Amino acid sequence: MDRRLLETILIGDIPNFLNLIQEDEHIIEQTVPRSLNTVLHLASRFGHVELAAEIVRLRPEMVAAENEKLETPLHEACREGRVEIVKLLVGIDPWVVYKVNMEEKSALFVACERGKVDVVKLLLDCPWMLMLEVDASITSLHVAASAGHTDVAMEILKARPDFSWKKDMCGCTPLHLACSKGHLEITRLLLRLDADLSSLQDNEGRTPLHWAVIKGRVNIIDEILSMSLESADIITKHGETVLHLAVKNNQYEAVRYLVDNLNITNLVNMPDIEGNTVLHIATAGKLTTMVIYLLKLGLDVNAINRKGFTAMDVIESDASNSGALAILPALQEAGAKRCDQLPPGSPQIQYVQESSPKIVPSMLAKRKPESPTQQQGRRQRHRRDKQLELQNEGLRNARNTITVVAVLIATVTFAAGINPPGGFDQSTGKSIRGRQTSFKVFMVCNIVALFLSLGVVIFLVSIIPFRRKSMTKLLTVTHKVMWVSTSFMAAAYIAATWTIMPRGAGSVWVLVAVVSIGGGSTMAIFTGLAVLLARHLLRKWEWRKRKAKNGSPSSSISRVEEMQIMKKGTHDSTSNSDIDSSDHGFHPY
């Protein structure tokens, strides 16, 4: 489109527009690249009524012109709420109101989406306007209810109250959408029109109350229940109650409201299609606060689902999770047990056997009571899992510590390098003591310490090991390099001290004292760590000999369990000689 024409349309300059037409009568036919909007599309969007009237006088056929999205100028006018332009365009071509764009949206749809109630009123006066939506999958009332435009919804309901019962492709009515989005006024409007709307179900069997619970809309839940309690007893196609959906979506406030306002005696223990109660769902989701609250309601803590699992079985399947560690004591305090700990004639076992006779009995038959050896093995595995978690955390902390120390060494050596002992000659900028042997020793040691520490930092921040063994190897290497860097920094300090000391008989004894104290302390630390490392390596060697002799790290773990562990985890999860051979709560490396 010509730049002059575009600027003229944007500001609505009619005289200039007419001058451009006189220069070139075909300029009015130009469109905006890519969007293919005509001059009438632009004039309708920006609300230039007089300019739009001039355009339709010259080219009345442009009222039905379509852009790239198949939208007419009427779509643009309705989207922006330009009532006068809508009147102008509909007066020129009344049939343009029935045109739809690429998304099958009419001008009325567009106006409903934006909440332009004046435009909606004007379009609803057109004959057969809403007749097009009778067989459509979605109506303008769906659009208004989803967007929360109460005034628009009221106008549509005045014209077609039956639209409140129409369902979209997902089976949702306008009330479903309003409840899901949390639009309270539209919810009230629809429920006052017909309270039975609250019992309609979508394709998954969910009512408007279900959707309000899923989204945690407590005010909507209160409005629906104040009008009708029937929808609270409806279950979905998956056998889920309102309480199931509230717990599944972690809507704690919704659960509390339902408990306070409904008789939930049957709901708390009602299973879904998989046999899961709300307690199963809460424990599977590691919802600590939800589990603790549900346990106060007096529900059956030992209910069994169709897989033969109680809530305790569900939580113990992932006991290493931090959320599980918080839930486990609460379940134990409430008297929860594993399935294999329940007596054979208990109501829970009978329920599962009756509900799934072909699957569950075979599963229960495999879960025999544990022998004392098996119980001891299970306790050892739990203790070992905790030790593994603590060791992994210790390795991560050690990595952070080495990084900080390496950065500190680099900072100190860098500062010492640019401010050498003895100072600078102000006239030449050279070091005053640069020719002394001790100064040269200082510079060499300082440079080695600086670049070794920088290498450690770059190495640690560039590699992200995700296995314990790889992490240990990384830390072992960087740890040794850091000690070398520290030793050179200490040597640089001694050399710097010797450089700046005054010459004389006493200076030799001072140097000897510095070397003796500093070197002796460092060697004592090195020796102590070396002894600890040697003892640890000896214990690892002895542990590996016992392991090779016994054929298993723990005689209490059966071969089947060992194979399951090996299949489930990596090498790091099957053996850890550092932990198994250490009895002090730590190990050097």
Domain boundaries, the chain: 1-136, 381-580
Residue 234: partners with Cβ closer than 8 Å, 6 or more residues away? 199, 201, 205, 207, 209, 210
Q: Which of 421, 410, 423 is nearest to 481 (CA)?
A: 410
Residues in the chain: 589
How deeply is 365 buried, as exposed, middle or buried, from its count of CB atoms within 10 A (0-12, 13-18, 19+)?
exposed
CATH superfamily assigned to domain 1-136: Ankyrin repeat-containing domain (1.25.40.20)
How many Å apart are CA 507 and CA 495, to the nearest integer? 13
Give the phi and the psi of residue 413 in degrees, each rounded to 5: -70, -35
CA 424 to chain centre: 58
Q: Residue 524, by phi and psi: left (phi above 0), alpha (psi -120 to 50) or beta?
A: alpha
On whether the CB atoms of residues 319 and 382 are closer than 8 A, the answer is yes
**Residue 137 structure tokens:** 């999958």
Give the phi and the psi of residue 296 in degrees, each rounded to 5: -75, -10
Give the phi and the psi of residue 557 in degrees, each rounded to 5: -100, 125
| Angle between helix 73-80 and 83-92 (nearest 10) | 160
State residue 565's pLDDT score.
Answer: 43
121: helix, strand or coil: helix
How many Å apart are CA 233 and CA 177, to the nearest integer? 20
Indicate the helix (H) or strand (E) that contains 423: none
Q: Which of 454, 445, 428, 448 is nearest to 496 (CA)?
A: 445
- Residue 27 is classified by DSSP as G
On whether the CB atoms of residues 248 and 281 are closer than 8 A, the answer is yes
Q: What is the dihedral of CA 386, 388, 392, 397, to 10 degrees?
A: 60
First to last CA, the chain: 74
Q: What is the dihedral of CA 459, 463, 469, 475, to 10 degrees?
A: 20
**Which residues of the chain register pLDDT less than 70?**
127-128, 131-135, 318-324, 343-391, 466-468, 503-512, 514-515, 518-519, 522, 529, 543, 547, 549-589
On whether the CB atoms of residues 156 and 141 are closer than 8 A, the answer is yes
What Å distances lie between residue 186 and 25, 122, 201, 223, CA to CA?
Answer: 51, 21, 18, 11
How many Å apart are CA 241 and CA 7, to the nearest integer? 60
Q: Which residues pair with 424 in a beta bridge?
A: 431
State residue 247's pLDDT score.
Answer: 92
Output 536-545 pairs: Cβ under 8 A, ≥24 positions apart: 536/578, 536/581, 536/582, 536/587, 536/588, 539/581, 539/582, 539/583, 540/577, 540/578, 540/581, 542/581, 543/577, 543/580, 543/581, 544/577, 544/581
On whether the CB atoms of residues 213 and 222 are closer than 8 A, the answer is no
How many Å apart are CA 175 and CA 178, to the nearest integer? 5
CA 421 to chain centre: 55
How many Å apart are CA 587 and CA 479, to the nearest integer? 14
How many Å apart are CA 362 and CA 367, to the nearest integer? 9
Give the amino acid at 304.
Answer: I
Average pLDDT score, the chain? 78
Output 1-8 pairs: Cβ under 8 A, ≥24 positions apart: 1/30, 1/31, 1/32, 1/33, 2/27, 2/30, 5/30, 5/39, 6/32, 6/42
115: helix, strand or coil: coil
How many Å apart are CA 39 and CA 45, to the nearest integer? 10
Widest Cα–Cα separation across the chain: 116
Q: What is the pTM of this model?
A: 0.56
What Å distances lie between residue 577 and 423, 489, 532, 544, 566, CA to CA?
Answer: 53, 34, 16, 8, 16
